[in-house]
Amino acid sequence: MSIRVKLLASLALLFAALIAAAIVIQLQVVMPSFGRLDRDHARTSMKCVHLAIERDLQTLRVDATDWANWGEVYAFAQGRNPGFVATNFTRTALDQIQIDSVLIVDLQGRALAWTGDVIPTKLSLQGSLVDRGALPADFPWRKDLGSGRAVSGLVKTNLGVMMIAGSPILNGTGRGRPLGMVIIGRLLTPARLRDLEARTQSNLRAMPTTFAPPAAPLVNASREIRVYRSFDDIYHHPVMTLRVEVPRRIEMSGLTAVRYASATIIVVAIVVLALAVVLLNSLVLTPLTQMTRHAVTVGESADLCARLNYTDPDEFGQLGREFDRMVEKLADARRQLVDQSFEAGIAEMAKGVLHNLGNALTPLGVRAESLAKRIDTVPLEDLERAATELAKGGSDDRRRTELAQFIELGCGHVGTVLRESRTDLDVIRRQADGMRAALSEHLRSATHAGPVLETVKLSDLVSQSLDIVPDASRARLRIATDESVATLGPVRIARTALRLVLQNVIINAAEAVRDAGKDSGTLRLSAELRRESDRDQLHLRAEDDGVGIPPENLDRIFEKGYTTKSPSTNHGIGLHWCANAIRALGGRIWATSDGPGRGAAIHVTLPLGEGVPGAVF
C-alpha cells in the first residue's frame, strides 16, 4: 500500500472519528441538556399549579376570616340574630366571592347553619363535613374549633373535590372567646381548573378518581413530558391527581439544531478534508511520488545520469538537490569501482590461471625430472669409447667379443630408456595440451565468449583430470568411480572447466588423506542426473576418507584466502576458484562432512546442454 493511500485513509478515518465524536457529544451531552430543560420546565409548571392552589386556599382562608370575624355572625352564634341566614345566605352573596358552601358550627361541632339548607344545591356535605347535623367525629379540625387559628384543605364531595377553609367566630374586632368556626368551600369545577390552567400557563388536566399515578412523577412521552402530583384531603387521604403536560419544544428545537450542527460539521469536515488532500497532494505527495519514481528508475535502470533538478526552496527541494548530489557521487564511485573491479578481476583471473598452471606444472616438472634421471642412466660415453676401440681394431678376439657384448647390452638399455621416455613424453604432451586448453578457456572467458560446451563421458573426464594431478597425489589416493559414472553416458558440459575443478578436488582429497596421517586413501566418485528448474542438472559427488571438515568450516572452505594449511605453501585459491567457476557455469558447489576424522564430500551440480550462462573465472 502506497503512502498516498495510507495517508488518505488515515485522514479519512481521523475526520470520520472527529465527526463521530462530535455527533456523540451532541447526542450524549447537548441533547440531554435540552431534555433536562424540558423536564425542569415541566416540574416548574407543576410547582406553579401547586402554588396556585396554595394561594387559592390562602385566599379562601382570608374570606373565611372575613365571615367569621363579622359581628352579625358572632351575634348569630350567640342566638341573638335569627334573621342572619335568610339575609346573608343568598346566591348573589355567594357568587360574589365565588363560594359554593358556608357552614357555621359551634364549639361542639354542631351545625348551626348551612347554605344548602337555604339555597337549592346538588352539593352534599354528608360524610365529609357533616354527619347527622354535626362535624364527623374524626374531623381533623375539631381540635381547632377553640384554638382561634384559621385552617384550610381539600375534601371530597359528591360533586368533586372542594377547597375548604375555616376560621374561628370572633366578635368583629378579632378578639374575644371563639364561639365556633365558619367553614366555607369552593368546588374545583372544570371552569375553575381552566382558570387555574390559564393563571399558571400550563396544560393542566385532572385525572379520574380511579387513576393510579405512576411510581415516577415525571413521564417522558413521545412528544410531551407529563408531570403528576397527588393531593391529600384533610383526612390525609389521596383525593385528587393533577397532570401537567409540557410539549418537548426545547428538546425538539435542540434536536433540530443538533441535526443542523451535525450536517454543518460533516460538510465542513468534507471541505477541510478535500482541501487537506489537495494541499497534501500538491505540497507533499506529488513531490514524494516524483522522488520515489526517480529513485526506482535509478535503481532499476542503473542510469545515474538522470537528475531531479528541484529548485523549490522547501524541504523537498533541498532533499531533491541532496539526492541529485548523492547520485552524482554514486556515479563517480561506481566508475571508480568499475575500474578497480576490472583490475581486481584481472588479478583474480591471473591468480586462478597461475594456480591451475601451478597444479599442472607440478606433475609436468616431476615427469621431466624423472625423464632426465632415466636418460642419465644411459652409459653414452662408455658406448662411444667401446665403439671407437672396436672400429680401430688391434684388439684380440676376447677383447672384441667383450666390447661387442657391452655395446649390445648398452643398445638394449638405450632402447628401454627410449621406450619409457616416449611414454613420459606422451604424458608430458597431454599435460601440456591440458595447460594450453586451460589457458585457452581462461582467455575465452576473459573475452566474455563463454565456455565451450563439449560432449564427454565422465569416466574419460576423470582420466583426463588424473593426467594433470601430481604423481604424489595419485600415489596416495585411489580413485573409485561408482557404477553410475560409467553408465551415465555422454553429457554436454564445459569439459575444460570441470576437469580443472576435478583436479582441485582430487588434490585436496589427497592432502586430506595425508593430514589424516594415512599413507593412502580412497576418493569415491558418483554421478546422477536431476531435473531442476525445468533443466537437466548433472550432480557429481566426490567423497574422501581424509581428515574431515568441522561444521563451522563447511561454507568457509570456498572463501577467498581461507586455508587450514601453511600459508607458505597454500594460498586458499583452489576451492575459491572452483566455486567461482561453477557459479559462472550456472551451477552450485557445496561440502558435507560428518565432522573431523570422518571424511568429507564435495558436491557439484551443473546444467547440461544449451543455455549455459557465460563464465568468467
pLDDT of residue 456: 85
Cell digits for 312? Answer: 523549490
Tell me how far apart the alpha carbons of residues 615 and 167 are, in angstroms, rounded to a whole number.
131
3-state DSSP helix/strand/coil percent for the chain, to nearest 5? Answer: 55, 20, 25
205-221 mean pLDDT? 85
321-338 mean pLDDT? 75
Rounded to the nearest 10 degrees, what angle do helices 458-467 and 397-446 cross at?
120
* Distance from chain centroid for Cα 389: 108
| Contacts for 205 with CB less than 8 Å, ≥ 6 apart | 242, 243, 244, 245
Q: How many angstroms separate the first and last alpha carbons of the chain?
A: 43
**Mean pLDDT score of the chain:** 83
Tell me how far apart the alpha carbons of residues 438 and 432 are, in angstroms, rounded to a whole number.
10
pLDDT of residue 137: 87
Tell me how far apart the alpha carbons of residues 494 and 488 are, in angstroms, rounded to a whole number.
17
| Contacts for 571 with CB less than 8 Å, ≥ 6 apart | 351, 355, 561, 563
Rounded to the nearest 10 degrees, what angle do helices 190-200 and 31-68 cross at?
120
Q: Tell the residue number behind the cell numbers 381540635, with chain if given.
A: 143
| Contacts for 455 with CB less than 8 Å, ≥ 6 apart | 490, 491, 492
Over residues 232-269, the pLDDT tens digits come to: 999 999 999 999 999 988 888 888 888 888 888 889 88
Tell me how far apart the alpha carbons of residues 583 and 595 are, in angstroms, rounded to a whole number.
26
Over residues 515-548, the pLDDT tens digits come to: 998 989 999 999 998 888 778 899 999 999 999 9
Tell me how far apart the alpha carbons of residues 514 and 520 are, in angstroms, rounded to a whole number.
8
pLDDT of residue 617: 33
Radius of gyration (Cα) for the chain, nearest Å?
65
Over residues 540-578, the pLDDT tens digits come to: 999 999 999 999 888 888 887 777 765 555 555 788 888
Over residues 90-142, the pLDDT tens digits come to: 888 888 889 999 999 999 999 999 998 888 889 988 888 888 889 998 899 98
CB 373 within 8 A of CB 477: no
Phi, psi at residue 359, to the nearest 5°? Answer: -60, -40
User: Is 450-617 the same fold as 29-247?
Assistant: no
Domain ranges of the chain: 29-247, 450-617
Q: Please state which CATH number belongs to domain 29-247.
A: 3.30.450.20
Q: Point out which residues pair with 323 in neighbouring strands.
A: none
- Is the pLDDT at 445 greater than 60? The verdict is no
Confidence of residue 304 (pLDDT cuts 50, 70, 90): low
* Distance from chain centroid for Cα 326: 34
pLDDT of residue 429: 75
Residues of the chain with pLDDT > 70, as a percent, come to: 87
Tell me how far apart the alpha carbons of residues 413 and 244 are, in angstroms, rounded to a whole number.
148
453 by Cβ neighbours in 10 Å (0-12 / 13-18 / 19+) ranks as: middle
- Is the pLDDT at 342 greater than 60? The verdict is no
According to CATH, the topology of domain 450-617 is Heat Shock Protein 90 (3.30.565)
CB 144 within 8 A of CB 159: no
